[in-house]
Structure 1
Amino acid sequence: MTRGEALLILFLGMVFSVAGLPTHCDRVVPMWCQHIPSQVQKQSLAGRSAGRTGCDLMVARCGALRGGTGRSGTEGGWSRGTLYLIVGNTMCGLLRGFDTGIIAGALLLISSAFHLEDSPGQLGIIATSATIGAVLGTAIAGRVADTLGRKRALLLGAVLSCLGSCVCTAASTVSALLVGRVVSGVAFGFYSTAVNVHLAECAAPASRGALLTLPQVAVSSGIALSYLYSVIVILWGGGFRAMLAASSVMSVGVAFSVWLMPESPRWLLQEGRGEDAKEALCQLRGGPTKAVELEWSELASSTRRSEVASAGDKGGRSV
């Protein structure tokens, strides 16, 4: 790979890192505020007298539309629970993308380490083995997330990523390398399923669409990061073990960020843990406001309707 290609990968990573954060005035405004009518962005008489700019009003209005007070109870900010939600799920997508892309660079070194220059079929199996694990992981991730919870499913995915990466790093045979990649692929399936479900159930209605784009951006950024890291390792003279070991280090960061996230209020409510569900919702929305109480009532009602519908379906099948 030439230096020009390496610089191109670096540029793409920079582009992905700033995606979705347009700026207005001298402040960064979340992109889900863009639907606010233009007149809200203009200074009102009250805003001028208070010294507030149109951008301030826009951010404050966005906070009101999201139904929460945000970080530390201030207008228009993020609550700590929402920040943990964003960071944790973004880290999961970043690791998934990194682990997906890193094998492309590692294959160049694996072929020489295991003398597979004349065995393109074996190299192809190594490259696609993670896909087999991803199919298995996707098939069981939904049941695991419903049984253990969204957070525990993601934590299990981080453990599997770390385990698969460690097996690949220590592999002395092609078979061991295949086992490690399949285990890592199972983690891909957990991330693909549990991340989207967790975000959809935890995000505020007004920002749900924007937040659900984060995993896709994170996966693309992770792939770009893996290409850049591969270039660095190759130029530095490292082997494939140095490439694959990076995923285990990232898995530790993913596990820590997921551990900090609030659990899905909807899942907690379905498990009969009403107080824990309400506490998680307050963490996500920045406090027990009237908007949170209204959202809690709607969540409880929709959960009861889902349980009744599910019970009816089971009764119909039994008949």
Structure 2
Amino acid sequence: MIFQSRATPVGLCTALISSKWVRVGHSGVAQRHMSRRVSSPTAGPMGDHAGGASVSGPRGAHSPSGSVSLGVGVAGMGALAFGYHLGVINGPLEAIASDLGFGGNATLQGLVVSSLLAFAAVGSLGGSGLADRLGRRRAFLLDAAPLIIGPLISSLATSPAFMIAGRAITGAGIGLSSALVPVYISEVAPPSQRGALGTLNQVLICAGILAALVLNVLVPTRNWRALFWVGALPAVLLGAGMLFLAPETPSWLGLSGQHALADETAHRLWGPGGEALLEADMAGHAKSDGGPKDRAQWGEVVANRGALTGAALFFLQQFSGINAIVYFSSSVFEVGPGDAVQGSSWVQTRAPW
């Protein structure tokens, strides 16, 4: 849960808050769910909901159902958008600067790039609280708005301020998604599959960066506005999927006091043994976190060796040169022979990060 994003300020923020938030959030679920054991609804409704899951028999509770795969896939659009917006600015940055009248102005070019990251860091800090108050699905629906509006503003930009505003709004959206995606995947996945499915967050971030680089090669830089239109598509899929297809997580339903619905959802997602898996999962969290007195405080998190190691890794990544390659390699290759965008894409797709 700590390593949620690539080498950005967002990753550092989430590294420091994730261990504290996950313990507090799940302990609340565990205490409320275990304090009141609610039996499942009648066999009819349960059978209807379970029919949508591609599981049967004892092993079904340990295999991802179709509903789980669908939920993970929809949430993954947030991670894909994260990566895409990190890499999309690389190729057309010089063309954008030329068209919007700030060609050669390194300060404004830097602001176009860094505004995304600055607001992403802010957005990542609010993601967990938003998900607790609204629920995971509704938080994603809210997150889809800046991920659609921001790229569209950038695509219509006629001035540096317009472009920076669009990038800042987009940054707030990817910051929220950096906190929401791994939480949703971990809660909707069966306990035995959380590690494997949790890695998809990183995979999709990298896939988004790669997709942006490929489009940088295929789309002429003079058509840079089209790249931002494409960037809105994952957010459209995220919003529509969360509105019509993806389930709420059993953990949040338990946290919000909807215990019967939590059991029903666990059954639908994880199969006939879903309620038992949810109860065992919540019992494990309750055992590891006995109550408010045992919850981690910020001082404990900062003093924790694991948290410090994770934060140190993010700091060290900032000095590895990865950010210069992700955001400015096309500009760097302008001073050398060959095509700048193709050269930078070749380096990024073959670099060992």
Question: Match of 2:88, SS?
Answer: helix
Please give the alpha-carbon distance, in whole angstroms, between the structure 2 residues aligned to 1:138 and 1:211: 21
Please give the alpha-carbon distance, in whole angstroms, between the structure 2 residues aligned to 1:88 and 1:284: 15
Please give the alpha-carbon distance, in whole angstroms, between the structure 2 residues aligned to 1:273 and 1:88: 23
Q: In the alignment, which of 244, 255, 259 is matched to residue 239 of structure 2? A: 255
Could you tell me which amino acid in structure 2 is paired with residue 244 of structure 1? F
- Structure 1 residue 149: Cα displacement: 1.1
How many pairs does the alignment contain? Answer: 241
Could you tell me which amino acid in structure 2 is paired with residue 278 of structure 1? D
Q: In the alignment, which of 219, 222, 225 is matched to residue 241 of structure 1? A: 225
Aligned counterpart, 2:280? 298
Q: In the alignment, which of 43, 51, 54 is matched to residue 71 of structure 1? A: 54
Please give the alpha-carbon distance, in whole angstroms, between the structure 2 residues aligned to 1:202 and 1:250: 20
Please give the alpha-carbon distance, in whole angstroms, between the structure 2 residues aligned to 1:221 and 1:180: 23
Please give the alpha-carbon distance, in whole angstroms, between the structure 2 residues aligned to 1:96 and 1:201: 20
Aligned counterpart, 2:251? 266
Aligned counterpart, 1:111? 97
Q: In the alignment, which of 119, 122, 133 is matched to residue 133 of structure 1? A: 119
1:246-294 deviations in whole A, cap 9, x for unaligned?
1123321121223321111111101101122122212211x3x2x3232
Q: In the alignment, which of 92, 96, 99 is matched to residue 85 of structure 2? A: 99
**77-86 or 112-121, larger mean C-alpha shift:** 77-86
Higher relative contact order (CA 8 A, sep 6+): 2
Could you tell me which amino acid in structure 2 is paired with residue 210 of structure 1? A
Within 5 A, what are the aligned runs for 1:151-166?
151-166=137-152
Please give the alpha-carbon distance, in whole angstroms, between the structure 1 residues aligned to 2:172 and 2:55: 38
Asked whether the 8 Å contact 1:269–1:303 carries over to 2, the reply is no
- Structure 1 residue 194: Cα displacement: 0.9
- Structure 1 residue 213: Cα displacement: 0.5
Aligned counterpart, 2:195? 209
TM (norm. structure 1) is 0.69
Please give the alpha-carbon distance, in whole angstroms, between the structure 2 residues aligned to 1:117 and 1:171: 15
Could you tell me which amino acid in structure 2 is paired with residue 253 of structure 1? L
Asked whether the 8 Å contact 1:82–1:283 carries over to 2, the reply is no
Q: Does 1:184 align with 2:170?
A: yes
Asked whether the 8 Å contact 2:118–2:171 carries over to 1, the reply is yes
TM (norm. structure 2) is 0.63
Within 5 A, what are the aligned runs for 1:1-20?
none
Unaligned runs of 5+ in 1: 1-68, 314-319
Q: In the alignment, which of 267, 272, 279 is matched to residue 282 of structure 1? A: 267
Unaligned runs of 5+ in 2: 1-51, 296-353
Please give the alpha-carbon distance, in whole angstroms, between the structure 1 residues aligned to 2:288 and 2:172: 30
Q: Does 1:89 align with 2:103?
A: no
Q: Which has the larger radius of gyration?
A: 1
Q: CA RMSD in A?
A: 2.5
Asked whether the 8 Å contact 1:96–1:219 carries over to 2, the reply is yes
- Structure 1 residue 187: Cα displacement: 0.9
Asked whether the 8 Å contact 1:98–1:222 carries over to 2, the reply is yes
Asked whether the 8 Å contact 2:154–2:225 carries over to 1, the reply is yes
1:180-204 deviations in whole A, cap 9, x for unaligned?
1111111111111111111112211
Q: In the alignment, which of 98, 104, 108 is matched to residue 122 of structure 1? A: 108
Please give the alpha-carbon distance, in whole angstroms, between the structure 2 residues aligned to 1:94 and 1:148: 23
